[in-house]
Structure 1
Amino acid sequence: MALSPEDKEEYDEQRFAWIGADTVLATKDSDQIDKHLRIIQARVRTKSATAHRAFAISGRAGLGKSTTALTLGKKHERQRRKLLGDGPEVTPVVYAVVPPGATPKMLMRAFATWLDMQVPQRLDAPSITDQVVRVLAQQKTTLVILDEVHNLRTTRSAGAEAASQLKVFTERVDAAFVYCGIDLLTSDLFTGDIGKQVRARTKMYALEPYALGSARDREEWLELVLGMEDLLPLANHPEGSLEDEAAYLYHRTGGSIGSLRGLLGDAAIEAILTGKERVDRALMDDIILDEEAVRHAQESTAPSPTHSRAKKTG
């Protein structure tokens, strides 16, 4: 209330940016994935003539694959920087996204972009790979996260070449690789002749939606809700006020982390724009969710075959 209109507008823009940023938040799967990743990282540190193993996080859209990977990446980065220092000459973790229709050159440019490398357009994929491998060694990178790997369409020539380039790249880098993507076991990268090689050297962890069936399920969902609530930058939102709305939020989102983040984020933005500065049921009721969440909400409230009256989905 003490801010001038100009300062208030600037403050709100900062809050909108915070809400829209990639949230790093522990999930129910974080500990298990962290355990398996530590094993793979230990293997990478040993000198071996065989190819390094990779780790893959799979699941349907909205289950928090990227959130989980980024959380582990942040943890790894903190640990490595304690040992190596906090200067710009160290990049413990590299995160890249596979673009749709990726070619070998597009794929390697994704890594170069994260490393802030200036790569001439004329360079081909092997030349870019050489430069990226050199910089990763110089920057002491030990964890590489590759997101949206389902975009590697190996049934097409460009996608198959990109997957082969990725295989060569992983063999040259002394780092643990984590792949994230939608339903990876049925994706192009993990099927066919190329898929056999990838599956042989990749551990897979499948994310499942949150549930409410048991007391532990409900506790895990509530912990997630309250964790996201704690991140809302609102001036008049009482701590823990969404505890009583946990079941409602599950119904609206189908247990999807992405949908929950979207609902609470949009509600928080509306609370800021209206000056309400708090999120409650009435405000959340007016938020339109992604179609995936709507579909799961409808399925969860669909009438059984013995019932003729439709139920309202809310």
Structure 2
Amino acid sequence: MLPPETPNRPLTRWDGLTEFLGRPLEEFPRESRDAYRSMSKTDRNRYDERRLLHMNTGFVIQTPEVGRIIETVQDLLYENAGLSSGHAGLHVSGPGTLGKTTAALIAMRTVHLQEVRRHPGWLADGRVPVAYVLIPSESGAVALATRIAEFYGLTVRSKETLNSLTTRICATIAKARTKLIVIDELQHLSPRDRFGRQSLSFLKDLHNQAAGVTFLYLSAEITPGEAFSGDFATQIRGRVQTHRVERYRYTTPTEKELWKELISAVERELPLFDHKVGSLRRHAQELHRHSGGSIGDLVRLMRMAATRQIRQRGAEAPETIRIEDVLALQPSMAAVDLMKRVTAVA
């Protein structure tokens, strides 16, 4: 079976992001085992492709951590709504695979859908409620500004100055009535090198000039002082809250129950015929050890195990995930690092 076709417009362009955020997150319409058996081979393959597509694009696990981040973003949106300057932001940092990107995507979808409901003619009016910018490594200010301009579909003129480009970007943000701008991979900007300082200075100006906009910064393991320093810190650090995401622990009864609930939440989303939700709870400690307490790796490993069930089983074979199916899969490098820390602490 070939991989299912998925929309390939990038999230770093307004049309791709808008299409993604507008896609409904609906419960997968499951067929019965008998209905599946009665399908032709072609129809079974199509159904399997829809199942695989759903697992890779159609569900997210909204954890308590994600809920706290979204609530903070909502608070900041109301706080910043009427401000022409001095608006606040949020910086979310932590190791990879712990849910930062998931939290950002849910926050972006929440804001996008709120604006769509408030303004039914939003698309015809040229509104772009949410923007997403991925910072390239070793990025200078012009390269970063170009990324933002390209998101909005602006053409960067030959030899255009940074000041001119910044002015046009801010005018476009205002015209598009953007409410939330997500700046991802902030760790690529270091105040210790010239390009990093230039880019941070540009972000400071953008943050100050984009009236009424809430900024959500995402980064790997850096402290606010490593990025929010120098002139950038002077202007912004006092207005940017910091939220650090951590791996899920498995020590206290409360922590153990939360981890088990997360496992069950993932199980509920897997469109398998025979898997019993809750059957992996008794293996919670093994799953915690194998994933390093990373929600991102837990989802990825269980999704991969389910994908293999769909791809390799026939119409009659049972589809269920066993603990050995998950443990046979290789965790991410980030999860391996987390596992080493868990072992070191233990």
TM-score above 0.5, yes or no: yes
Unmatched 5+ residue regions in structure 2?
Answer: 1-36
The within-5 A match list for 1:1-314 is: 1-21=37-57, 23-47=59-83, 50-85=85-120, 87-88=122-123, 89-115=126-152, 117-120=153-156, 122=158, 123-173=160-210, 174-185=212-223, 188-275=226-313, 277-301=319-343
- Any conservation in 2 of the 1:184–1:190 contact (CA below 8 Å)? no
The alpha-carbon deviation at position 68 of structure 1 amounts to 1.4
How many angstroms apart in 2 are the aligned matches of 1:124 and 1:5? 59
CA change 1:236–1:51 in 2 (3 A) is same
Aligned-partner SS, 1:119: coil
- Any conservation in 2 of the 1:259–1:293 contact (CA below 8 Å)? yes
Unmatched 5+ residue regions in structure 1?
Answer: 305-314
How many angstroms apart in 2 are the aligned matches of 1:64 and 1:301? 22
CA change 1:196–1:20 in 2 (3 A) is farther
CA change 1:101–1:15 in 2 (3 A) is farther
The alpha-carbon deviation at position 64 of structure 1 amounts to 0.9
Q: Give me the CA root mean square deviation.
A: 2.7
Aligned-partner SS, 1:230: helix
Which amino acid counterpart does residue 163 of structure 1 have in structure 2? L
CA change 1:154–1:300 in 2 (3 A) is closer
How many angstroms apart in 1 are the aligned matches of 2:234 and 2:67? 28
How many angstroms apart in 2 are the aligned matches of 1:179 and 1:71? 14
CA change 1:36–1:161 in 2 (3 A) is same
Deviations 1:97-131 (A, max 9, x none): 1111222233233334444x152462454444333
Aligned-partner SS, 2:223: helix
Deviates more, 1:135-144 or 1:29-38: 29-38
- Any conservation in 2 of the 1:80–1:92 contact (CA below 8 Å)? yes
CA change 1:212–1:4 in 2 (3 A) is same
Deviations 1:160-200 (A, max 9, x none): 11111111111121211111111231674224454454422
Aligned residue pairs total 302
Deviations 1:257-277 (A, max 9, x none): 221122112212211221153
Aligned-partner SS, 2:289: helix
Which amino acid counterpart does residue 279 of structure 1 have in structure 2? I
- Any conservation in 1 of the 2:184–2:219 contact (CA below 8 Å)? yes
Kindly, what percent of the aligned residue pairs are identical?
25
CA change 1:9–1:132 in 2 (3 A) is farther
Deviates more, 1:213-222 or 1:159-168: 213-222
- Any conservation in 2 of the 1:245–1:281 contact (CA below 8 Å)? yes
The alpha-carbon deviation at position 2 of structure 1 amounts to 4.1
CA change 1:45–1:87 in 2 (3 A) is closer
Give the structure-1-normalised TM-score: 0.84
Give the structure-2-normalised TM-score: 0.77
Deviates more, 1:293-302 or 1:64-73: 293-302
The alpha-carbon deviation at position 22 of structure 1 amounts to 8.0
The alpha-carbon deviation at position 142 of structure 1 amounts to 0.8
How many angstroms apart in 2 are the aligned matches of 1:233 and 1:119? 43
The alpha-carbon deviation at position 54 of structure 1 amounts to 1.3
- Any conservation in 2 of the 1:254–1:296 contact (CA below 8 Å)? yes
How many angstroms apart in 1 are the aligned matches of 2:138 and 2:62? 31
How many angstroms apart in 2 are the aligned matches of 1:160 and 1:22? 39
Which amino acid counterpart does residue 87 of structure 2 have in structure 1? H
Deviations 1:132-168 (A, max 9, x none): 3233223321111111111113322222111111111
How many angstroms apart in 2 are the aligned matches of 1:236 and 1:277? 5
